[in-house]
Structure 1
């Protein structure tokens, strides 16, 4: 059966990808230790660094996925906290005391101590802006021998999960110079970040003095490839061993044995600007929601490789559907009368421009006049955060930071949330978000989270459209690459290339 022409990967794209990637990977086999006990792993990643690989930004997840930087705590598959650089911990009211793992060295040879842990946590807690995981959280850290006591302004049941966020990675003292954070040679992971070439590439070597199991691969060579077609071509051509985020439009034409598809805690959402413009009117927000046909987007853009959203939280969190009930909307849908709106989105995820184009058609049919503004994410994020758009299409990870969606909900929908694309402010929602954040981990917390989700949806501050599935490409020779829905792991100590 002949595949539709739009799905086929042109030879020109394959050639372009080869040219794009060869410069980074050509020297991989001659790098340190290559050939001695295995091949270096060539990785094609989607988004280039946004903040010079500072762990205080989303770049932290790159350091985590390369196993270069580590945190006090890690999460298991269920989202429960497990030991990492801390071996155990206990709570006493507003304070949590963590015992620091002995015998750990940073990549510069200095020792991991309670003081270095306090230094990293303090820099994160006092940063401006704070890492998302600390939205609404006042946190201080104090050293006492081989222990670190972390204290919050109010009792916080989620402290261990917060400290698992890659944005709270522990780095050597040398990483912190002035207002910048440089992770090169400053982590504790099984791979040492040795070189960063701006937004083009990065190199890592195995750290021979790692405190845990020695990495099986001698190193990692990373190329940042925002173009999804080029990433898919890199897998087909053999230019890359592991490829992040294969576009759904290319997945069908790749060898299905080389791709893995996993439901993700990631929601494709249309954020509506409630602060100004057309969508300050709640009835027009309701009209936009009713005009959107998410099922058509799933079938037409994602070719069925996604799930229609019933709420902000998707099937990667099965308890959400079990607890969710009907949502009563605050306003009835009004009748658009040619109101002009601008929708922003970005090219880094190849589906986003097509999603925006489909939304443009659906909203224009409903009576809006719609203009699109599509750029690379690094060039559009600041405008989105400052409220320059009437609406913004975003693929948003809902448990990226802590394994718990309360932090995401607070960041995106609290009045003082640092990622409040909707410019949203509602006392009732703030109250619900505060309750969810303060409830102890377990069933009661999950119920409070769903109540907070309902409060947001009642106001139509955002329209959840679909829940994505991650499609990762692993070449035939790749062994034990991580397939992590939370996007925290990719290359681990067990990953190697035959």
Structure 2
């Protein structure tokens, strides 16, 4: 459900230059290794179709690979995690307010100017319940009030409840032009933004083509504009589901950039430099706490977790390339950095797991399955196949639970079907264990998946409720930014100790670039360029 912020940041400040000669120099290089190719085409592969291109109604992670080429946000965060101006030239933040001053001169691809009113209308559109936006509470707090002053070019959001991370939460969301807000269907398969590119062709399931806007002249300081040498004339985003095919095309030079996971990644990594490196939580699950579910009992949740070897699950889920998940938010820019999960999740202890289930009344019968009051302890487990290794991890979990007399019924589906299933009203009363591995850069956004209302009113799929977590989070809201991180660490620690949510795996998420260049500008921002190498 969450976006790839590192891609957005790179496109935000990215001179994506193509070069006629030389080899890739790797992230962090300070000078070009070849002459720029004028009006070249950048070819980029993603693994699935992004769906509706209107971000305000589509929280698909895949869309994050597409929209940043055509849309800008008020701010972006550089490689040091510091906010930099984009559509906003200035901002002021408190725990209950955020004000942007919008720069002049940013033009929409339909020829209209981006105004403070249009920026404000983006947030108003999300808040309007008639629009059914998926970003109420995730990006725009549900209690937010939005005002604008066109003469002063300011947009002001105020909230009743304090919020520690208003700037990263609101500031990096893409801003659409007024025509898109007036007619959302008009940008379902095309674009209307202020970005360097605009979409010229959309063939869902196959490819999307964007063309450089030669009149683009409002880049952040040091960034490229429409006349910068080496900025590609066109960007073609291809849908290539098979990772082996992506690897082959990348190695042959037919692709400039692509993410490759699984067995093919090693051969790509041996020949192609990383372009973007970040970490994602890719393995985790929440136990249902709906009334009447066996996992509503904390002792049962802790026992089930003690029956699992989380280190082995991590190895399987990441194909040996990852590490244990540490906290809710690991996506760049990382405002908070701490390890609350590994020291607080129940440690593997099969004997203790069996004893706890016995004491809770779940006794193993002659058929080997535990039961209580005539009900067998058989977990309804919903998981998705977004990562190729999820299936193997789910099967290993079932094997480890079977060893202590707990059965499992699998509900494994593709990502879209999974999301539809777990967001159905009452799903937590029918499912016991729900796969949960969402990513964002700040923890308060992800907290909506482990606290608060259940679907359709909220995103708390499993109906998780932990009063200690909620109390500490409420206290932390009076702090701003990194000042709140210590409280969030305490809150998450309480949640993991109660085995409400069990994140167990995170892995590197690498997009490889076939010939890349990185330039460091005087203000410290990294501008990344791609080099198209001629044989």
Matches of 1:455 and 1:464, distance apart in 2 = 14
Aligned to 2:209: 203
Distance 1:439 1:334, change over 3 A: farther
Most deviating of 200-209 and 408-417: 408-417
Q: Secondary structure at the match of 2:450?
A: helix
2:415 paired with 1:360: no
State whether residues 206 and 218 of structure 1, in contact with CA within 8 Å, keep that contact through their aligned partners in structure 2: yes
**Structure 1 residue 221, shift from structure 2 partner:** 0.9
**Structure 1 residue 84, shift from structure 2 partner:** 0.9
2:76 paired with 1:74: yes
Matches of 2:318 and 2:467, distance apart in 1 = 36
State whether residues 59 and 134 of structure 2, in contact with CA within 8 Å, keep that contact through their aligned partners in structure 1: no
Q: Deviations over 1:386-427 (max 9, x none)?
A: 325322224321xx2xx3222212343334683212221343
User: Residue 456 of structure 1 is aligned with which of 491, 495, 511?
Assistant: 495
Matches of 2:528 and 2:80, distance apart in 1 = 21
User: Residue 109 of structure 1 is aligned with which of 111, 135, 140?
Assistant: 111
Aligned to 2:38: 37
**Structure 1 residue 377, shift from structure 2 partner:** 0.8
Matches of 1:325 and 1:348, distance apart in 2 = 24
CA RMSD in angstroms, aligned pairs only: 3.4
Aligned to 1:192: 198
State whether residues 356 and 393 of structure 1, in contact with CA within 8 Å, keep that contact through their aligned partners in structure 2: no
2:235 paired with 1:220: yes
**Structure 1 residue 237, shift from structure 2 partner:** 4.4
Q: Secondary structure at the match of 1:254?
A: helix
Q: Deviations over 1:275-318 (max 9, x none)?
A: 15332232221122112212213334434310123554569769
Query: Can you give the 5+ residue segments of structure 1 that lack an aligned partner in the other structure?
Result: 1-34, 483-488
Q: Deviations over 1:19-64 (max 9, x none)?
A: xxxxxxxxxxxxxxxx982431111113422444434432485266
Matches of 1:62 and 1:320, distance apart in 2 = 23
Matches of 2:108 and 2:438, distance apart in 1 = 32
- Select the structure of larger CA radius of gyration: 2
User: Residue 442 of structure 1 is aligned with which of 482, 501, 505?
Assistant: 482
Matches of 2:326 and 2:345, distance apart in 1 = 14
Q: Secondary structure at the match of 1:431?
A: helix
Aligned to 1:9: none
Q: Secondary structure at the match of 2:403?
A: helix
State whether residues 342 and 389 of structure 1, in contact with CA within 8 Å, keep that contact through their aligned partners in structure 2: yes
User: Residue 423 of structure 1 is aligned with which of 452, 463, 468?
Assistant: 463
Query: Can you give the 5+ residue segments of structure 2 that lack an aligned partner in the other structure?
Result: 1-35, 347-351, 363-369, 371-375
Distance 1:234 1:481, change over 3 A: farther
Relative CO higher for 1 or 2, CA cutoff 8 Å, sep ≥ 6?
A: 2
Matching of residues 374-453 of structure 1 within 5 Å: 374-386=412-424, 387=427, 388-397=430-439, 400=440, 403-415=441-453, 418-443=458-483, 445-453=484-492
Matches of 1:105 and 1:315, distance apart in 2 = 30
Matches of 1:345 and 1:395, distance apart in 2 = 10
2:148 paired with 1:142: yes
Matches of 2:186 and 2:286, distance apart in 1 = 31
Q: TM-score, normalised by structure 2?
A: 0.74
Matching of residues 41-440 of structure 1 within 5 Å: 41-59=42-60, 61-62=63-64, 66-91=68-93, 94-126=96-128, 127-131=131-135, 132-145=138-151, 146-166=153-173, 169-177=174-182, 180=185, 182=187, 184-210=190-216, 211-212=218-219, 213-214=224-225, 216-244=231-259, 246-260=260-274, 262-275=277-290, 277-312=293-328, 320-321=337-338, 327=344, 333-335=356-358, 337=370, 339-386=377-424, 387=427, 388-397=430-439, 400=440, 403-415=441-453, 418-440=458-480
Distance 1:324 1:200, change over 3 A: closer
**Structure 1 residue 92, shift from structure 2 partner:** 7.0
State whether residues 50 and 58 of structure 1, in contact with CA within 8 Å, keep that contact through their aligned partners in structure 2: no
Corresponding residue pairs, total: 447
Most deviating of 258-267 and 215-224: 258-267
Distance 1:301 1:383, change over 3 A: closer
Aligned to 1:497: 532
